[in-house]
Amino acid sequence: RRSSIAASDAAFWSRCKVCRPRLLGRPLMIEDVSLERGRAILKTTTQHWLRMRGASSFPVTFEDTKHPQLDAPSSQLRARVVGPDHLEILDEHGAPVAKRLDTSTGV
């Protein structure tokens, strides 16, 4: 079921960072991307409800994060579920990204 956004909320949502798991095609709002114990960890604003179901990782795309590596159309990043509202960002080979991917916009 799709939810709609009121016109007054459009400006707020246009500033938000988005992670779009390619398997689902639905956007996830990002609260933060930080480096924790040498791994890039993404925190969503709400529970993401993603399950691995035997896969080691899944492809993701990012929009409006203001970070060139995340927003690049050629970026082939992947993610792995590490908690109900956390994903670990991986490179195109499934290896952990071990550098800061801080973003300049936020919720």
Q: 13 with 64: CB under 8 angstroms?
A: no
What is the sign of the dihedral through the CA atoms of 83, 84, 88 and 93? positive
1-41 tens-digit pLDDT:
333 333 333 333 334 455 665 545 677 888 888 899 999 99
Model confidence pLDDT, tens digit, residues 55-106? 788 888 888 878 888 888 888 899 999 999 999 999 999 999 987 776 554 4
| pTM, two decimal places | 0.72
Helix (H) or strand (E) holding 71: helix 68-71
The token pair at 87 is 């994903």
The token duo for 7 is 């016109």
What's the count of helices (H) and strands (E) in the chain, helices before strands?
2, 6
